[in-house]
């Protein structure tokens, strides 16, 4: 069993808030992250897959294929987007890093399984100081 990780990046806007809260209540719970005019981040995404090394190639997966799959399943939906308004798999969810990591997992788990490898971990940095890990 071996693990291989691919790092990708996307830039997006978001806001942490509950529509059933007033702006004051959102500010109290979510702080500056509740700004109704949005703010944004350079997100850094680490996708880790696990499985056996294919003796024919020396690869667990071809990273070009893994990267292409992350591009179509995740980055095209998130990069330069508004996470609250434009990302189908986040609709109706609080746009926290936790929920975003889980959403990205759900986008990738099946397509990666179809390659013969298994998705092991989504690690998502919102800033250099904060990251979330989700193992399914």
Residue numbers annotated as active site: 33, 80, 126
Q: Considering the rule CB under 8 A, would residue 77 count as an interface residue with a second copy? A: no
**Residue with smaller CB distance to a second copy, 73 or 97:** 97
Within positions 106 to 125, which residues make up the interface with a second copy, using CB under 8 A?
A: none
Q: Considering the rule CB under 8 A, would residue 5 count as an interface residue with a second copy? A: yes
Q: Which of 19, 37, 88, 92 binds a second copy (CB under 8 A)?
A: 37
Closest CA to 63 of 117, 133, 102: 117
43: region left, alpha or beta (phi > 0 left; psi from -120 to 50 alpha):
beta
Alpha carbon distance 108, 5 (integer Å): 13
User: By the 8 A CB rule, do 81 and 12 touch?
Assistant: yes
Q: How many residues bind a second copy (CB under 8 A)?
A: 60
Burial (Cβ within 10 Å: 0-12, 13-18, ≥19) of residue 107 = buried
Residues whose CB is less than 8 angstroms from the CB of residue 9 and which lie 6 or more positions away in sequence, other chains included? 42, 43, 44, 45
Closest approach, Cβ 88 to a second copy, in A, equals 14
Q: Considering the rule CB under 8 A, would residue 28 count as an interface residue with a second copy? A: no
Q: Considering the rule CB under 8 A, would residue 70 count as an interface residue with a second copy? A: no
Binding footprint of a second copy on the chain (CB under 8 A): 1-9, 11-14, 16, 18, 29-33, 35, 37-42, 48, 53, 56-60, 63-64, 79-82, 85-86, 93-99, 101-102, 127-135
């Amino acid at each position: 069993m071996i693990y291989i990780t691919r790092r990708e990046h996307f830039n997006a806007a978001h806001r942490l808030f509950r529509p059933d809260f007033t702006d004051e209540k959102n500010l109290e719970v979510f702080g500056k992250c509740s700004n109704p005019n949005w703010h944004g981040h350079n997100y850094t995404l680490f996708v880790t897959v696990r499985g056996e090394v294919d003796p024919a190639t020396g690869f667990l997966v071809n990273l070009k294929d893994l990267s292409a799959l992350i591009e179509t399943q995740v980055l095209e939906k998130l990069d330069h987007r508004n996470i609250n308004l434009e990302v189908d798999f986040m609709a109706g969810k609080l746009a926290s890093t936790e929920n975003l990591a889980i959403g990205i997992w759900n986008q990738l788990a099946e397509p990666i399984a179809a390659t013969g490898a298994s998705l092991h971990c989504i690690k998502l940095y919102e800033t250099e100081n904060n990251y979330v890990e989700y193992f399914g």
